[in-house]
Amino acid sequence: MCLAHLLRDAKYAIEDGDTAFSAPFRRLLLRAIAIGRRRDTLKDSTLAQYLYDLDRRLDRIIGQLPAGEAGRKLRKRMLANRAHLFVFMTRRDVPATNNISEPHLRPSVIFRKVTNGFRCEWGAETYAAFRSVVSTAKANRVSVYDTIRFVLSAGRPAGALGAVG
pLDDT at residue 26 in the model: 93
Contact 108, 131 (CB under 8 A): yes
Q: In b/e form, how buried is each residue of 110-139, taking b as 16+ CB within 10 angstroms?
A: eeeeeeeeeeeeeeeeeeeeeeebebebee
| Average confidence (pLDDT) over 112-132 | 78
Share above pLDDT 90 across residues of the chain, in percent, rounded to a whole number: 16
Checking phi first, is residue 157 left (phi over 0); if not, alpha (psi -120 to 50) or beta? Answer: beta
Each residue of 55-66: pLDDT tens digit? Answer: 999 999 998 888
Q: Are 9 and 85 in contact (CB under 8 A)?
A: no
161 pLDDT band, cuts 50/70/90, is very low
Q: What is the pTM of this model?
A: 0.60
Q: What does the pLDDT look like over 5-50, one tens digit per residue?
A: 888 888 988 988 888 888 999 999 999 988 888 888 989 899 999 9
**Domains in the chain: boundaries:** 3-97, 101-153
